[in-house]
Amino acid sequence: MIDYTTLFRANLPAAAVKYNGFPKYNFVGGHNDAGSVPVDDLIAAASNVLKREGSTLATYGLQSGPQGYRALREFLVKKLGRDAGIACAADDILITGGSQQALELVNSLLLEKGDTIVVEEASYGGFLSRVKRFGVNMVPLPLDKQGLDIEAVGRALADLKSKGIRPKYLYTIPTVQNPTASILPLERRHALIKLCESYGVPILEDECYSDLVWDGKRPQAMRGITGDDRVIYVGSFSKSIAPALRLGYIVAGWPLMSRLLSLKTDSGTGAIDQMVIAEYCEAHFDNHVVKLRKTLKRKLDAMVEAVGANFGTAAEFDYPDGGIFLWIKLPDSVDTAKLFQAASKEGVTLNPGAEWSVDPAYGQSRLRLCFANPTEQTIREGVAKLAEICNREFGVPTRIANVGR
């Protein structure tokens, strides 16, 4: 036998835990509502497109080239123009294996060990963990109920410039921020663009949740405001259709696109996924998303009610403007990483806030709960169970539904 541990490269992430199924009360990850997956329409789309174009599977790229299935890119041109105010062409879009690959490609293009980026103090955990592997310095930017504090961004960029540091980019999730679910107002978007331009700092705009704004109205994307590569735009179908369909995309001009393509060495994103989603979305996307929003908001209301009933004033949060997460602040005495360990043993999982924060101390008493996948009854039961465990481990909450512990 060979001891492979003697051959591993340095700085590997921790070993994965073997999958043993989802827990009874699963509030982690970006899973979506199972009943909202449009199975019948996807079956019909698959049948139609494969009958019509299945022979193109004989070639890498489906005769559409390395940027992805052209019909899907053409759908995105229309969708982004209408919904996000982005004027682009199909050749400005690269289809990727989910938004994670999109972010990874941008990081591989721009980042080296020792570089600096500026990022929201609470942010997408998958992004934070990957950037750390690059050996990059992350400067946290404070958030309020409306997203990035622009004055604080200005102070941070000025401080970095005084030290001779030019950040490689500013990473933001402006529309339904992950994990806070805030939406950056249009005036702040204009101010942020102007500020970053004055310091020569590009913006990496991640809009994976922008289809899930409750009223369907969202501010224009910053990529749409600039119309050029001052902003690199990343989006996804994972939250609007289904996360298991690993489809994301990047919007960028050719000078950047040509470099991103040279880094994308996977011989192409899943072909059938692209074909089916393009066929489905052309006919059904808008109606589907309207229904999905209603379902998700109903589940959110169930979670908000359950948190209020079981945690009372011990749990602080802002009502989300959209998305699939509730970001909660518990009293400082609660360590949500330890809460996760205790709760997971009893079938309740959550995302500890430290994993979604640039500064782990900021996130220590915070947690993220995903409400999209569990049923409303499961949400109520799971939140009640979590409150019981939290009280047992940390003495929080002291009261539940106005009844003393």
Name the band, by pLDDT with cuts 50, 70 and 90, for residue 267.
confident
Mean pLDDT of 290-295: 96
What average pLDDT is seen over the chain?
94
What digits encode the pLDDT tens for the residues 118-146? 999 999 999 999 898 889 999 999 999 99
| pLDDT score recorded for residue 400 | 63
Mean pLDDT of 196-210: 97
What digits encode the pLDDT tens for the residues 95-115? 999 899 999 999 999 999 999
d(CA 78, CA 72): 10
346 membership: H or E segment, kind and range: none
What CA–CA distances, in Å, run from 59 to 44, 54, 268? 23, 10, 11
Which residues have CB under 8 Å from 257's CB, separation 6+? 67, 91, 92, 94, 250
Helix (H, G, I), strand (E, B) or coil at 231: strand
d(CA 202, CA 113): 18
Name the band, by pLDDT with cuts 50, 70 and 90, for residue 399.
low
d(CA 399, CA 296): 28
Say which residue, 180 or 400, is predicted with more confidence.
Answer: 180
| pLDDT score recorded for residue 37 | 92
Structure tokens given for 279: 């066929």
| pLDDT score recorded for residue 245 | 87
Confidence check: pLDDT of 25 > 80: yes
What digits encode the pLDDT tens for the residues 43-62? 999 999 999 988 888 888 88
Say which residue, 160 or 238, is predicted with more confidence.
Answer: 160
- What's the chain's length in residues? 405
